[in-house]
Amino acid sequence: MSRVLVLNCGSSSVKYRLFDGAETSAKGLIERIGEEGGDATDHRAALQHIMESVDLAGLAAVGHRVVHGGPRFSDPTLIDDDVVADVEALVPLAPLHNPAALSGIAVARKLLPDVPQVAVFDTAFHATIPPEGVTWAIDKSLAERWQIRRYGFHGTSHAYVSRQTAKVLAKPVEETNVITLHLGNGASACAVEGGRSVATSMGLSPQGGLVMGTRSGDIDPTVVFHLHRVAGLPLDEIETSLTRHAGLVGLTGDNDLRAVLERRQAGDPEATLAFDVYCRRIREYVGAYLAVLGRVDAITFTAGVGENSPVVRAATLAGLESLGIAVDPERNRRAERIISPDGMPIAVCVVPTDEELEIADQSRAALQP
Ligand code: ADP
């Protein structure tokens, strides 16, 4: 059973989990890196702390979560100088996400020079989306020059959860079509046909698609021009507004759906509208992906909201019996693996995601020649 250390480096945090086979033998979170009173002064100190507190003897690999793999990376990739240079070249595409992963990679390579390091990309699973699903109808020469297209994210989660759904249905992955709904702080939908992603809601960055805790999801791009030209906001302020002060927090002041649900329960109209906007957007994507896939075996909810909110699951899929979709209230309340009534053409599932386990498995796979 080989040991793999999975590192998920954010700009101010490092999440780690040590796997012996599929078992977790250590895990932790180092937060507020570089802030006063934080757990570490920088990523190097954070990793040093992990290495001092966790026994890393016999480590087979370090698996790094990297958000953006751009057009090149469609598989987990053994890291060398060339790969690092290519991930660096992708920073303009993912300025909010890739730099932290790069500093984690640099420090881990220095501190563990004899251990293979593997980059596992959030975008990779979506490399199978056909050209018509990733191409936007904009000036082709601009798109090509600046690598503008849909990439999609949360790939490790959609991959893991769609495979688990096939297991729940006791069907071969190759014959199973699933719409996966990853609803966490970030949120995205994915259409998975026989184990391969064929459509997803996030785009060039993790900003598009569903309504999220602090991100807007899909908007007409004219909103940006209008905020710049008419409202006079500089571009970086618009970016901050749409990535950090939009979504649920933009509509209600609360980015945590639990708070929004409580306020809605108490009759708060702001929270009620935000909830309706949130569920309506998911529903629109479910409808779109039913049409993309043609035949669907299951719709699967996952991540913080998807796994824990019966209210969101029920509201999102209400009234779709004529499409073969229904939610059983009791199964939904208990978050059973299958929450649709027996005998429905499309199963509705709740499957806990495990991105770190998927990263560990993919890292091991990348070591095979
Ligand atoms: P991340 O994307 O950071 O990994 P998670 O997948 O853990 O986040 O999801 C976090 C979100 O899950 C929180 O914003 C919270 O609103 C939501 N959540 C967690 N538990 C519940 C619950 N019982 N009901 C509704 N929402 C929940």
How do residues 67-126 score in pLDDT, each as one tens digit? 999 999 999 999 999 999 999 999 998 888 899 999 999 999 999 999 999 999 999 999
Ligand 1 pocket, residue 184 CB under 6 Å: yes
Q: Are residues 213 and 81 in the same domain?
A: no
330 C-alpha to center of ligand 1: Å?
21
Residues 194 and 329 in one domain: yes
Q: Cα separation of 348 and 339, whole Å?
A: 6
Distance between CA 147 and CA 363 in Å, rounded? 27
Asked if 192 and 336 sit in the same domain, the reply is: yes
Catalytic center residues: 122
**pLDDT reported for residue 43:** 86
Query: What residues in the chain have per-residue pLDDT under 50?
Result: none
Query: Would the CB of 258 count as within 6 Å of ligand 1?
Result: yes
- Please tell me whether residue 11 adopts helix, strand or coil conformation: coil
Residues 61 and 177 in one domain: no
Same domain, 87 and 185: no
Of 121, 136, 160, which residue sits at a domain end? Answer: 121
User: Could you tell me if residue 31 is inside a domain?
Assistant: yes
Counted domains in the chain:
2
The verdict on 114 and 175 lying in the same domain is no
For residues 183 and 326, membership in a common domain is answered with yes
Residue 213 lies in a domain: yes
236 and 329 share a domain? Answer: yes
Distance (angstroms) between ligand 1 centre and the Cα of 107 equals 30
Structural domain range at position 71: 3-121
In a domain, 275, yes or no: yes
Ligand 1 contacts CB of residue 14 (under 6 A): no
- pLDDT value of residue 1: 64
Please give the number of the atom of ligand 1 that sits closest to the Cα of 303: 6
The Cα-based distances of 259 to 61, 214, 316 in angstroms read 40, 14, 18
Residue 21: other Cβ atoms inside 10 A: 12
186 CB within 6 A, ligand 1: yes
Q: Are residues 113 and 237 in the same domain?
A: no
Residue 135 in domain: no
User: Which amino acid type is present at position 58?
Assistant: G
Q: For residues 158 and 178, what is the distance between their CA atoms, to the nearest angstrom?
A: 10
Residue that finishes a domain, picked among 86, 103, 121? 121
Q: Is the CB of 307 under 6 A from ligand 1?
A: no
Query: The domain that contains 50 carries what CATH number?
Result: 3.30.420.40
Same domain, 209 and 333: yes
pLDDT, position 39: 86
The pTM score is 0.96
Whole-number Å distance, alpha carbon 184 to ligand 1 midpoint, is 5
pLDDT at position 162? 98
Asked if residue 126 is part of any domain, the answer here is no
Report CA-CA distances (Å) from 324 to 40, 287, 340, 345, 369.
52, 12, 10, 5, 44
Mutate to test the pocket of ligand 1, among 305, 311, 358, 359 (most ligand atoms within 8 A of CB): 305
Q: What does the pLDDT read at residue 47?
A: 87
At 337-364, the pLDDT tens digits run 999 999 999 999 999 999 999 999 999 9
* Same domain as 301, residue 200: yes
User: 295 alpha carbon to ligand 1 midpoint, in Å?
Assistant: 30
For residues 275 and 216, state if they share a domain.
yes
